[in-house]
Amino acid sequence: MSKELAANARLNKQICQKCGATNPPKAKRCRKCHSKDLRRKAKDPRR
């Protein structure tokens, strides 16, 4: 259960491709470097 929540939380965040900062899903620009290169953390479950 908590695993699902964690996974959801991760999917709901965006990672700046430039500086690697985490941004809220609604953000259109990185709050740190203002880059538009935001990406949702893709399906990357720990193997």
Among 10, 13, 18, 41, binds Zn ion (CB under 5 A): 18
* Residue numbers 21-40 binding Zn ion by CB under 5 A: 21, 30, 32-33, 35
- Dmax over CA atoms of the chain, in Å, equals 35
SS3 40: strand
**32-41 exposure pattern, b = at least 16 Cβ within 10 A, e = fewer:** eeeeeebeee
**Interface stretch with Zn ion, choices 1-9, 18-26, 39-47 (CB under 5 A):** 18-26
Residues that bind Zn ion (CB under 5 A): 16, 18-19, 21, 30, 32-33, 35
